[in-house]
Chain A
Amino acid sequence: MLAFLARRLLATLPVLLVVSVIVFLMLRLTPGDPAAVLAGDAASTEHIEQIREQLGLNRPVPVQYVVWLGHLLSGDLGQSYYYKTEVTTLIGQRLEPTLSLAALTLVIAVALAVPLGVIAAWRHGGWLDRTLMAFSVLGFSIPVFVLAYLLIWFVSLELGWLPVQGYKRIAEGLGPWLRHLLLPAITLSIIYVALIARVTRASVLDTLGEDYIRTARAKGLPEPKVLLRHALANAAVPIVTVIGIGIALLIGGVVVTESVYAIPGLGRLTVDAVLARDFPTIQGVILFFSLVYVLVNLLVDMSYVFFDPRIRY
C-alpha cells in the first residue's frame, strides 16, 4: 500500500512539470503585455520598457522558465504583477472561500444524488426513473449563471430567505458563513447532482443484475438492506471515480459562481489575473488547481481499497 502511494505520488511530478510548461508557454507565446497593463493610464513607452525589465520579461523564454521553476522548487510562486503581493499569500487568502464552496457543494450533491440514483435504479423503467433522469439531463444543460440568477431572484429577493451575495469567513461565525454559502453551493451542486445521480443509477443497475443480489433477495433480506449493503457498496467504485473526474467540472463552475455571488475565491482570482495579464498569479493558481486535481484522483484511487476489498495495492 505504502509502496503504491509512494509510486503514485512520484508519478504526479512529471504531470505537474508538464502542466507548468504548458501554462508557462501558453502565457509567454500569446500576445498581451503585462508591462503595458501595469504601467497604467498615463505611461510612456520608455516606462513600459522599464517595467518589462523589472519583471524580467525581456529575457528569452527558456531562461524565464528556468528561473521561475527554480523559485517554485523553493516554494516561491513569485509576486503578482497586479497586486504587488506574494502569489502564495493571494492563494492563501482565497483558499478558504473556494474550498468551502467546493466542499459544501460536494456534500449537498452526494447527499442528494446518491439516494436519487439508487431510487431510480430500484424503480428502473418506471415514471420516477424517467423523470429523475430527464431532470438530470436538464441539470447539466442549463448554464450555471442562468441557474444562479433564477435562484437569487427567487430565494433571495422574492422570498428573502438568504443573502444575495458575499462570503463570510468561518472565523466570523459559522451561522453567517453557512447562510452566505448555501445558495451558491446549491446552484453549483445541481450539475453535480445530475452527473452523480446518473452514474449511481447506472452503477447500481449493473450490480443489481449480479447473482449475489438474487441470492440476497432469495435469502429473504429486506429490500433496503439489499440496496444499501450489497448494491450500493459494490457500485461505489464508479461513483467515486466520477466524483474525482467531476472536480474539473467543479472548478469551472466555481469560476462562474464566484463571479455572480461575489465570493472572493480562487476562481475569481484567476479570471481577474487573466484579464490583467498577471502571469505569476495565473501560473501559480493553475498549477495549484492541477495539483488538487491530481491529489483528489489519487485519493479516489486509494478509496477503492475501502469500497472494493478485491482491490489491493
Chain B
Amino acid sequence: MLPTNFEALSVEAASVQRQASAWQRVRDNTSVRIGAAVLAVLVAIALAAPWLGTVDPSLFDPASRDLKPLASGEITTLEGETLAHRFLMGSDSFGRDIYSRVIYGTRVSLLVGVCTALVALSIGVLFGLVSGFLRKVDAVLMRVMDGLMAIPAILIAIALVAMWKGSLLTVIVAIAIPEIPRVTRLVRSMVLTIREEPYVEAAVSLGTPQALILWRHVLPNTVAPLIVQGTFICASGILTEAILSFLGVGLPPDIPTWGNVMAEGRAQFNDHPHNIFFPGIFLAVTVLAVNILGDGLRDTLDPKMARRT
C-alpha cells in the first residue's frame, strides 16, 4: 500500500510545484498583461454600462436621425417624454444613440465570445474524453468530427441561425458547433497520449476507476491547451457574430451588438461613417486583446504549442 501512495503523492507534489511556477510565468508575460488589462477595462465598461452616460439603447426619435458625433438632439422615452441628449458617437438612421449602443454592445459581444468558448470547450471535452476512452464510439465520433470540420464554419452558422429564430442562444450554439471538432481532437489526443504513460498504466493495473484517472491525470494536463484554445475560440466567436449580423443573419436588430450597429450603418458608410467606425474600433480592440492574451497564455502555458504557430 505504502509505495503506491508515496509515488502518487510525489507525482502530485511535483505537479503542484509545476503549477506554481506556471502561474508565475503567466503573470509575468507582457502579452498576457496587456491583453488581460484591456479586457478588464472592457468588462468594467460592460458592467458599468447604465452609469456611463448612456440611455436605453433601443430608444429612438426619428427627429434625431443621422446626427454627427458630439451633436445634441432629442430622445423619446417609452412613456412618451422627450429628453435632450448629447450624442457622443452620433446617431443612427433611426435616431438611436450610437454611444449607448456601443457601450451596451460590449455586454453582448463579450457574452457571446465567452459563452461560445465555454459551450465549445465543454462539449469538446466531453466528446474528446468519450472518444479517447471508448474505442467503438471513437471511430464513429471522429468521422462525424471530420465531416463537421470539412463544412465551412460560417455556412453552418448562417444556416442554423437563419433556420431558427435569431436569438442569443441560437447564435452562441451556431458559432460554437463548428469549433467543437478541434477541441475534441485536442482532448482526444491528450487522452490517448496520457493513457500510455507508465503511471496511468500502473493506476489502471491497481484497479483505479477510469473516472479517477480522468480526474487526476488526464484533465489537469488538458487545462493549459484548452485555456489557450478557449481564448482563440472567444476571439473567433466575437468576430463571427459581427459577420453574421452584417449578413443579416445575426442577433435580432433590437439587441445592440457591434455587428448589428455596423450592419444597420452599412448603407450610409460614405456620408455617416461613424456608424461603422466606432463599433468597428471597439470590435477590433476587443478581438485584438483576446488574441494577444491567447498568444501570451500559449507562450507560457504550453511552450510546445507556442513554436507551432
Residue ranges of A at the interface with B (Cβ–Cβ < 8 Å): 14-19, 21-23, 26-27, 30-32, 137-138, 140-146, 149, 153, 157, 198-199, 202, 205-206, 238, 242, 248, 251-252, 255-256, 259, 270-271, 274-275, 277, 282, 285-286, 289-290, 293-294
Contacts and interface: CB of A to CB of B under 8 A. Distances in A.
Which of A21, A238, A286 has the most chain B CB within a 10 Å cutoff? Answer: A286
Given A22-B148, A140-B291, A146-B284, A251 B162 contact: no
Given A137-B291, A143-B239, A143-B262, 4 more contacts: A22-B147, A238-B308, A270-B158, A275-B248
Given A137-B288, A137-B292, A256 B246 contact: yes
Contact of B159 (A26, A137, A157, A294): A26
Contact of B143 (A14, A137, A141, A277): A14
Nearest to B247: A271
A299 B266 CA distance: 39
Nearest to A12: B150
Contact of A202 (B153, B240, B309): B309
Contacts of A157: 270
10 contacts: A15-B147, A18-B148, A26-B160, A27-B163, A137-B291, A202-B307, A248-B149, A259-B246, A274-B163, A293-B150
Contact of A149 (B146, B147, B243, B269): B269
Nearest to B258: A143
A141 B148 contact: no
Contacts of A138: 284, 288
Interface of B: 143-144, 146-156, 158-160, 162-164, 235, 239-240, 242-243, 246-249, 262, 266, 269-270, 273, 276, 280, 283-284, 287-288, 291-292, 295, 307-309
A252 B156 contact: no
B143 A252 contact: no
Given A142-B280, A205-B307, A286 B155 contact: yes
A31 B148 CA distance: 21
Contacts of B249: 271, 274-275
B11 to A, nearest CB: 31
Contacts of A255: 154-155, 158, 243, 247
A199 B309 contact: yes
A283 to B, nearest CB: 10
Contacts of A238: 308
Contacts of B248: 275
A27 B269 contact: no
A19 B266 contact: no
A21 B291 CA distance: 34
B151 A22 contact: yes
